[in-house]
């Protein structure tokens, strides 16, 4: 039996909360909210249709149009996903009993422009999340709603001042319209016992003050969200993403956007709904393995020692040295012969050319700059040489070299497609018999040979090409790293600090599969080597756009010529605006071939305690601003984490660090936390174990492995909702509600029931203790520990 009104649908045992004195103001407000919501959706839909019909434009106009479409689509998606349940709760001011502020997932105003909902990210909503009885922030009370299928199934009033806490005052307040009913359990604590699904939910309705302070912290520098199991650090970090995107325009997707880096694929699936539910669908999520192509097939590194060596900063430096090995200018010069002169390319010229690329230019991409400098040097020397030795009559000199005819050289170049200006040269014996001297346009060099022809001739010289290829060869990033492990002398040269035993441990046959420990080094190599096709792709893109513009221009001309009306619509296509709209619409090709390459304006790194120094470099390459949200717990580090966060991050190149601790576990009941605490403190006596807010709960159960299926089946029969996880039994079959996972893949996840099979099998020492601690604290209601049957 439910007590139902237009919005409230309260169970019978909560019928007292349906008192009109308590809900009448809400009923009126929700009615106004529904009407305004319908009008707003209609208005935004019309606005979106109008923008889509408008000319695409080009340049800044096109950018602004696309941004407006993106904004309208996102706004409509958020409004259509919810109805009145956009509202999270309300506050009542301590100086005006009739002054209510309603807080929502998005802001909404009525027809007169008065706020019906204030956006949860706005300053006006801050008190809703941050106020406490000790610091009420000028509030008398706060109400939070629990919605189900668009109806309020429950609500909680939290008194924030002494006058409201007193029961008599509350009764009087209800009579004069204050509308406050005290409740022994806050909305937050009441929500903790709800059944889990396969996806993380946003916690907008239950954010606590310490969490809200982290969410609203500025984006400058690096913020470390440090908390144990169940403190909400992951969901807080995701809410922080939505808050920063709302408040800091410099972090928007057109300024770099945001990236969330998680520990594993189940994590990405688990958190997939949080940001869209918060109105943000442009944040990219990935794992470290997703950052390099080889990550898809990488296998775990079997040797802890090899993983340790490959995870150091010094090994990243070895990759740089491995590439630098192929960037040494030749110690000997080269005599370059052309049809007109011989030119000496000295060792100093090689050094000058190799130093010409801009600092930081990747190896392969630098080759174009090197060639340009070499050609500049040779053309200059060639002109000097010809000027000194120009003893042949006329502007067409005979070939300087025996058996070489200069006209054959030029004809070959022209035949291959070089456009030597018509009228000055049209093959042997045709056109004007002289080229102008090389002036501002660089048309011809000394001796009458066009500079363009000379440069192409030099660029094709077999000996010069071979010399450049030997001195600065094109590299493949994966081959560079593979050679380090398969060529002992190469590794010894690039990593001289390694001992013979360490080099032998790193050695592996060519063609061996990549491991997860290789991935940061492959990323470093790819960053250092670069992509030689960048320039070529840019040229192809520009050529395609130019061709499309020309085609559309011809279409416009045809339409205009076919239109008999001199003032007709087709004539309008001659206007610059519409012509640009037609031709420019195609000029929106995304040149980013790798969406995860960055740079990003802000990056969130979850389970950051697990990252090696080399893996941190993968993150920092994509976030040069060092605007980071780092989420982790040192006690959950499988490889150990003894130093403070500040020292740890400073070592990898992050200096501006603020640590924000979370000390209360809202997920894990006290009996489970007590059992898990004993496990982790056996190896980490000073572990920062959080305090459980849920002081009650079921005791930890112990049983035999033979009972596994019966325990899971019995739980499923008794619990029509919720999820379970079996850890340590790889043969257990995963179903819709029961997962089977290794301990490493349970991080961040949570389940109503966790069954840990043979805890001792997870290993001894630090890693085993951490795996048991993490697994045990995934349970939100029931933890079962099973040991093998006696033999």
Residues of the binding site: 227-234
Cβ neighbours around 161 below 10 Å, total: 17
Of 550, 555, 554, 538, residue with least CA distance to 589: 538
Of 237, 208, 202, 226, residue with least CA distance to 663: 226
Angstrom distances, CA of residue 595 to CA of 66, 361, 382, 626: 19, 20, 45, 19
Q: Identify the three-state secondary structure at position 523.
A: helix
- Residue 564 CA to residue 554 CA, distance in Å, equals 18
Q: Are 702 and 788 in contact (CB under 8 A)?
A: no
- Residue 264 CA to residue 674 CA, distance in Å, equals 27
In the 8-state DSSP scheme, what is residue 251?
A: G
H or E stretch covering 478: helix 477-486
Q: Are 584 and 58 in contact (CB under 8 A)?
A: yes
Long-range contact list for 470-475, CB < 8 A, 24+ apart?
470/330, 471/328, 471/329, 471/330, 471/350, 471/354, 472/326, 472/327, 472/354, 472/363, 472/366, 472/367, 472/370, 473/326, 474/364, 474/367, 474/532, 475/323, 475/326, 475/363, 475/364, 475/529
Which residue is associated with the tokens 């050289």?
Answer: 409
Phi and psi of 227, rounded to 5°? -160, 150
3-state secondary structure 348-390: HHHHHHHCCCCCCCCHHHHHHHHHHHHHHHHHHHHHHHHHHCC
Angstrom distances, CA of residue 18 to CA of 6, 44, 174, 455: 11, 35, 12, 87
Work out the angle between the directed axes of helices 613-621 and 519-529 (0-180°, nearest 10): 40
Which residues, in sequence order, are bridge partners of residue 139? 93
Q: Are 122 and 116 in contact (CB under 8 A)?
A: no
Q: Are 697 and 781 in contact (CB under 8 A)?
A: yes
Max CA pair span of the chain: 117
- Residue 386 CA to residue 407 CA, distance in Å, equals 17
Measured between its terminal Cα atoms, the distance across the chain in Å is: 55
Q: Are 538 and 370 in contact (CB under 8 A)?
A: no
Q: Identify the three-state secondary structure at position 33.
A: helix
* Helix, strand, coil % over all residues of the chain, rounded to 5: 45, 15, 35
Long-range contact list for 616-621, CB < 8 A, 24+ apart?
616/649, 616/652, 616/653, 616/654, 617/313, 617/316, 617/520, 617/523, 617/524, 617/652, 617/653, 618/288, 618/291, 618/519, 618/520, 618/523, 618/524, 619/261, 620/652, 620/653, 620/654, 621/523, 621/527
- Residue 71 CA to residue 55 CA, distance in Å, equals 18
Cα four-point dihedral sign 607, 608, 613, 615 = positive
- Residue 176 CA to residue 172 CA, distance in Å, equals 6
Q: Identify the three-state secondary structure at position 629.
A: strand
334-350 burial: b if 16+ Cβ within 10 Å, else e? bebebbbbebebeeebb
Long-range contact list for 546-555, CB < 8 A, 24+ apart?
548/583, 548/586, 548/587, 549/583, 549/584, 549/586, 549/587, 552/582, 552/583, 552/586, 553/579, 553/583, 555/582
List binding-site positions for ATP: 227-234
């Amino acid at each position: 039996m439910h007590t139902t009104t237009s919005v409230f649908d309260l169970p019978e045992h909560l019928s007292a909360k349906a008192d009109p004195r308590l809900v009448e103001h809400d009923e009126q407000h929700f009615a106004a909210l529904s009407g305004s919501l319908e009008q707003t959706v209609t208005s935004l839909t019309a606005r979106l249709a109008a923008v889509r019909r408008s000319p695409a434009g080009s340049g800044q106009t096109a950018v602004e149009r696309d941004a407006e479409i993106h904004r309208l689509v996102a706004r409509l998606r958020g409004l259509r996903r919810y109805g009145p349940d956009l509202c999270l709760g309300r506050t009542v001011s301590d100086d005006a009993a009739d002054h209510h502020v309603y807080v929502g997932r998005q802001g909404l105003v009525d027809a007169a422009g008065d706020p019906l909902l204030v956006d949860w990210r706005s300053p006006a909503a801050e008190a809703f999340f941050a106020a406490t009885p000790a610091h009420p922030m000028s509030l008398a009370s706060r109400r939070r709603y629990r919605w189900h299928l668009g109806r309020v199934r429950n609500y909680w009033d939290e008194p924030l001042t002494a006058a409201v806490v007193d029961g008599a005052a509350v009764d009087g307040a209800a009579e004069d319209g204050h509308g406050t009913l005290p409740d022994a359990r806050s909305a937050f604590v009441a929500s903790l016992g709800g059944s889990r699904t396969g996806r993380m939910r946003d916690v907008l309705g239950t954010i606590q003050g310490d969490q809200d302070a982290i969410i609203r912290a500025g984006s400058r520098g690096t913020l470390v969200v440090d908390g144990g199991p169940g403190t909400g650090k992951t969901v807080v970090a995701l809410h922080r993403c939505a808050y920063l995107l709302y408040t800091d325009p410099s972090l928007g997707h057109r300024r770099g956007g945001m990236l969330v880096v998680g520990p594993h694929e189940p994590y990405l699936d688990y958190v997939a709904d949080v940001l869209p539910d918060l109105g943000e669908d442009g944040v990219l999520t990935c794992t470290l393995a997703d950052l390099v192509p080889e990550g898809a097939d990488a296998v775990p590194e079997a040797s802890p020692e090899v993983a340790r060596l490959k995870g150091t900063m010094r090994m990243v430096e070895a990759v740089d040295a491995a590439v630098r090995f192929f960037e040494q200018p030749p110690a000997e010069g080269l005599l370059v012969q052309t049809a007109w002169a011989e030119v000496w390319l000295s060792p100093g010229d090689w050094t000058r050319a190799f130093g010409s690329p801009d600092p930081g230019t990747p190896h392969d991409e630098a080759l174009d700059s090197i060639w340009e400098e070499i050609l500049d040097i040779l053309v200059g020397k060639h002109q000097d040489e010809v000027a000194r030795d120009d003893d042949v009559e006329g502007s067409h000199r005979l070939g300087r070299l025996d058996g070489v005819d200069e006209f054959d050289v030029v004809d070959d170049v022209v035949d291959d497609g070089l456009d030597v200006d018509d009228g000055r040269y049209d093959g042997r014996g045709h056109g004007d018999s002289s080229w102008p001297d090389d002036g501002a346009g660089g048309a011809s060099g000394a001796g009458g040979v066009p500079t363009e022809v000379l440069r192409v001739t030099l660029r094709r010289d077999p000996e010069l090409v071979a010399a450049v290829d030997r001195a600065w060869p094109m590299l493949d990033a994966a081959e560079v790293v593979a050679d380090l492990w398969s060529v002992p002398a190469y590794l010894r040269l690039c990593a001289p600090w390694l001992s013979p035993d360490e080099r032998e441990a790193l050695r592996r046959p060519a063609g061996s599969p990549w491991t997860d420990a290789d991935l940061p080094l492959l990323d470093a190599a790819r960053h250092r080597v670069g992509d030689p096709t960048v320039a070529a792709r840019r040229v192809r893109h520009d050529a395609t756009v130019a061709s499309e513009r020309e085609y559309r221009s011809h279409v416009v001309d045809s339409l205009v010529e076919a239109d008999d009306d001199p003032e007709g619509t087709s004539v309008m296509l001659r206007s610059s605006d519409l012509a640009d709209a037609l031709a420019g619409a195609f000029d929106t090709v995304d040149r980013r071939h790798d969406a995860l390459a960055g740079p990003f304006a802000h990056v969130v790194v979850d389970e950051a305690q697990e990252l090696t120094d080399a893996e941190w470099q993968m993150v920092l390459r994509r976030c040069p601003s060092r605007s980071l949200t780092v989420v982790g717990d040192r006690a959950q580090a499988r490889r150990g984490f003894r130093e403070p966060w500040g020292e740890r991050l400073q070592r990898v190149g992050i200096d501006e660090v603020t640590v924000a601790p979370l000390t209360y576990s809202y997920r894990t009941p006290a009996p489970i936390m007590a059992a898990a605490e004993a496990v982790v403190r056996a190896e980490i006596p000073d572990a920062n174990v959080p305090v459980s807010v849920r002081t009650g709960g079921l005791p930890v159960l112990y049983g035999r492995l033979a009972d596994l299926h019966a325990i899971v089946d019995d739980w499923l029969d008794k619990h029509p909702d919720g999820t379970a996880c079996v850890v340590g039994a790889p043969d257990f079959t995963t179903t819709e509600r029961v997962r089977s996972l290794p301990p490493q893949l349970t991080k961040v996840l949570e389940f109503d029931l966790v069954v840990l099979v043979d805890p001792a099998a997870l290993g001894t020492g630090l890693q085993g203790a951490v795996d048991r601690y993490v697994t045990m604290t995934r349970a939100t209601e029931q933890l079962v520990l099973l040991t093998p049957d006696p033999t």
